[in-house]
Structure 1
């Protein structure tokens, strides 16, 4: 599963990009220069290799945030969280999940609220398990809709707060349609 998700992100993000309005600076395969450097890359971003990008996506955006554990329970949800994490950071994606779980637990009557710590730990997994068991077949789709909603609101806020980001807003939203 993760191999296909990584390939899709790399295909979508493309090769080397340095957009003047992008505060993230130079990217290659969707990996920012800062992330590449934090993972040991020292060269020109035009030379950043695809296998290095794949390794970073697998480790920093799938395994470290615990999305591999979400995938065993709700694979489409894990895919959504991976995509959100690539665009906004894994901790933001997981926090969106935690917020949705807390808001959907009927006043903590289905399961206790989970801390908004941006990590998939035992409390988040227990809440997810209970949510999926309690809410049935549509549960995964409802969580995905909630996460998409939070993501869309964040994109709109970014464009409102920084007009230079308006150039990216349509693309951010268009990639998430469907």
Structure 2
């Protein structure tokens, strides 16, 4: 699956303009918060935020910059999961989830060295992913996605427990982001 398709799917899932009172992100359109839009040069009313600008932001900030395009060369489905997690929780969180999962799956460093969980997908993370996939193959890719989704699901539960207003979003997060 290519990034254009992933972006189309995220935009379809996120919908158009929204400004839910319980959402700390404030006004959003296509899943892009007003703060992210402003940081990327859009100063207008979020109701008029252009889809093309949203697509460019998704590609640059949530795919290319965090290194998920390189992950896609090794494991496209893992990269798709990381992209979706990045959109909803931030690229660093997604990268950290990958590092944590790879560390937990390396059989006490028998397969490859532990990674520093710095949330940055660089050469060492890509090498660990490559070693994991070489050993575990397609079945390993599926298991890795399950591990990533488990971390994501736990994070959603913690967010709802920590801030009861987030319960308004928990069902949708679990229904649309996990599995």
Match of 2:118 in 1: 117
Q: 1:26-80: CA deviations, max 9, x gaps?
A: 0000000010011011111111100000000000000000000000100000000
Q: 1:136-156: CA deviations, max 9, x gaps?
A: 231110110000000000000
Match of 1:21 in 2: 22
Query: Is residue 75 of structure 1 aligned with residue 76 of structure 2?
Result: yes
RMSD of aligned Cα (Å): 0.7
* Deviation of the 1:134 alpha carbon: 1.0
Match of 1:105 in 2: 106
Matches within 5 A, 1:21-100: 21-100=22-101
Question: Does the C-alpha gap of structure 1 residues 59 and 84 become closer, same or farther in structure 2, counting only changes over 3 Å?
Answer: same
> TM-score of the superposition, structure 2-length normalised?
0.98
For residues 136 and 78 of structure 1, the distance between their equivalents in structure 2, rounded to whole angstroms, comes to 15
Q: 1:73-118: CA deviations, max 9, x gaps?
A: 0000000000000000011001000000001101111101111111
Q: Which runs of 4+ in 1 moved over 3 A?
A: none
Give 5+ residue unaligned stretches, structure 2. Answer: none
Match of 1:156 in 2: 157
For residues 138 and 123 of structure 2, the distance between their equivalents in structure 1, rounded to whole angstroms, comes to 23
For residues 50 and 14 of structure 1, the distance between their equivalents in structure 2, rounded to whole angstroms, comes to 11
Give 5+ residue unaligned stretches, structure 1. Answer: none
For residues 138 and 45 of structure 2, the distance between their equivalents in structure 1, rounded to whole angstroms, comes to 48
Matched residue SS, 2:20: coil
For residues 116 and 126 of structure 1, the distance between their equivalents in structure 2, rounded to whole angstroms, comes to 14
Matched residue SS, 1:7: helix
> TM-score of the superposition, structure 1-length normalised?
0.98
Q: Is the 2:27–2:34 contact (alpha carbons within 8 Å) kept by the matching residues of 1?
A: yes
* Deviation of the 1:119 alpha carbon: 1.1
User: How many residues are paired up?
Assistant: 178
For residues 117 and 130 of structure 2, the distance between their equivalents in structure 1, rounded to whole angstroms, comes to 17
